[in-house]
Structures are given as C-alpha cells and as structure tokens.
C-alpha cells in the first residue's frame, strides 16, 4: 500500500513540476511576443506583412515548386513533388489534429499594442502551432533533402515566413518554433517515402 501511495505522490509531484515548467515557458513566450510587438520597426513592418500574406494558401511553395520543376530537371521535379507532398501532410496534421487538441488562443494584438500598420486579417483557427511556419519548413526541408543547393535559400525564406507570423501579431514565438520543428520532421518522413517510391518505380 505504501509503495502505491509513494508512486501516486511521485506522479503528482511530476505533474506539478511539468505544469510549472509549462507556465514558465508560456511566460517567456509571451514576453518575447510583447518585446517584438513594442519594438518600432517601420522599415520591416511592410515587408513582413507582405511576406506573411504571400505565404497564404501555400502560394510561395506552389510557385517555388513550379520554378524548380521547370528549371532543375528530373531532380527539380522530384524536389517539387516531395515539397508539396510534405506541405499537404504537414497542413493536415497541424490544422486537423494538433490545433483542435492544443486549443491555444490567438494573441490579443490590441492588448499587446501590435502596431496597426503591421496587422493583417486574424485567422479564425487556433494559434498552436503556426501552420504557415509548419508548411514553410516542410517545403524547405523536403526540397533541401532532394536538392541541397535549393534547400539553403528556401530555409532562409521559411525562417522569415515563420518570423513574419510573430511580427504581424498572429502567433506567439512558440507557435512558430513548434510549427517549424514539426514541419521539418514530417517532411523527412514524407520525403523518404517519396524517394523510395521513385526508386521502386525505376527498378
């Protein structure tokens, strides 16, 4: 009996410790969001707003895939196929599974004094994770695995897209980071399968 009581106590203590760590991480996340919101960056505001809007509906990644497919030969077409497949898988996981479960509310841009000139339409979906960051890194990671030279600039672009979602006040930094990591992980899984399928077809 005493061992069971001890196990329950240990579990309770572990749960409390986890809650404290999560609360601390949330405070840091919020503080960074506020720091970005309250730092005047008039030259950056328009660029980040336009970039964030350009990434809507994966338009940047569709355009990039068309360019790769048209200019980089068979490897470019494979990279484009891998990238778009990774974006589709990542979007499904982020928007249909994680967001409904996480239920994190979007930031209060008005309460945190995000400058109006930065702001774009606030999505109705939940905040965690950032779907734009997830799709951006999914495409960049998948493409980079097939075409390493293309992966470098695409990862830089993906990083700017992820940051733009924080800069425009749509996401907390933690949302963007989680989306980026999740997108990269899913891209590795999807790309490995696409490459295997391509190899088996040739065989």
**Is residue 197 scored above 80 in pLDDT?**
no
pLDDT of residue 191: 92
> Which pLDDT value is given to residue 193?
83
Least confident span in 21-25, 53-57, 155-159: 21-25
Q: What is the pLDDT of residue 119?
A: 93
Q: Is the pLDDT at 5 greater than 80, yes or no?
A: no
Which architecture does CATH list for 2-202?
A: Up-down Bundle (1.20)
In percent, the amount of the chain with pLDDT more than 90 equals 78
pLDDT at 144: 95
pLDDT score, position 196? 75
Q: Which residues, at least 6 apart from 173, have a Cβ–Cβ distance to it below 8 Å? A: 29, 32, 33, 36, 166
What string of H, E and C letters represents the secondary structure of the chain? CHHHHHHHHHHHHHHHHHHHHHHHHHHHHHHHHHHHHCCCCHHHHHHHHHHHHHCHHHHHHHHHHHHHHHHCHHHHHHHHHHHHHHHHHHHHHHHHHHHHHHCCCCCCCCCCCCCHHHCCCCCCCCCCCCHHHHHHHHHHHHHHHHCHHHHHHHHHHHHHHHHHHHHCCCCCHHHHHHHHHHHHHHHHHHHHHHHHHHHHHHC
Tell me which residue of 58, 199, 44, 67 sits closest to 137, measured CA to CA.
Answer: 58
The answer to whether residue 46 scores a pLDDT higher than 80 is yes
For the chain, the structural domain boundaries read 2-202
**Listed range (5-9, 42-46, 62-66, 68-72) with the worst mean pLDDT:** 5-9
Amino acid 20: pLDDT: 87
CB 160 within 8 A of CB 111: no
Q: For residue 8, what pLDDT band results from cuts at 50, 70 and 90?
A: low
Contact present, 170 and 105 (Cβ < 8 Å): no
User: 202 pLDDT band (50/70/90 cuts)?
Assistant: low
Structure token digits, residue 156? 């830089």
Q: pTM of the predicted model, to two decimals?
A: 0.88
Residue 1 has pLDDT above 70, yes or no: no
To the nearest whole number, what is the mean pLDDT of the chain?
Answer: 90
């Amino acid at each position: 009996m005493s061992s069971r009581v001890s196990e329950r106590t240990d579990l309770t203590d572990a749960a409390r410790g986890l809650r404290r760590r999560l609360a601390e991480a949330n405070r840091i996340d919020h503080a960074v969001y506020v720091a970005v919101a309250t730092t005047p960056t008039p030259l950056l505001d328009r660029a980040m707003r336009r970039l964030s809007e350009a990434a809507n509906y994966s338009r940047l990644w569709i355009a990039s895939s068309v360019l790769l497919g048209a200019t980089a030969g068979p490897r470019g077409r494979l990279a484009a196929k891998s990238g778009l497949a990774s974006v589709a898988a990542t979007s499904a996981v982020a928007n249909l599974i994680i967001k409904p479960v996480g239920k994190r509310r979007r930031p209060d841009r008005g309460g945190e004094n995000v400058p109006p000139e930065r702001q774009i339409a606030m999505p109705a979906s939940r905040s965690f994770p950032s779907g734009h960051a997830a799709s951006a890194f999914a495409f960049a990671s998948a493409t980079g695995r097939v075409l390493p030279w293309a992966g470098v600039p695409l990862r830089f672009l993906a990083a700017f897209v992820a940051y733009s979602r924080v800069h425009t006040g749509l996401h907390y930094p933690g949302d963007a980071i989680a989306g980026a990591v999740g997108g990269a992980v899913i891209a590795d899984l999807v790309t490995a399968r696409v490459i295997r399928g391509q190899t088996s077809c040739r065989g």
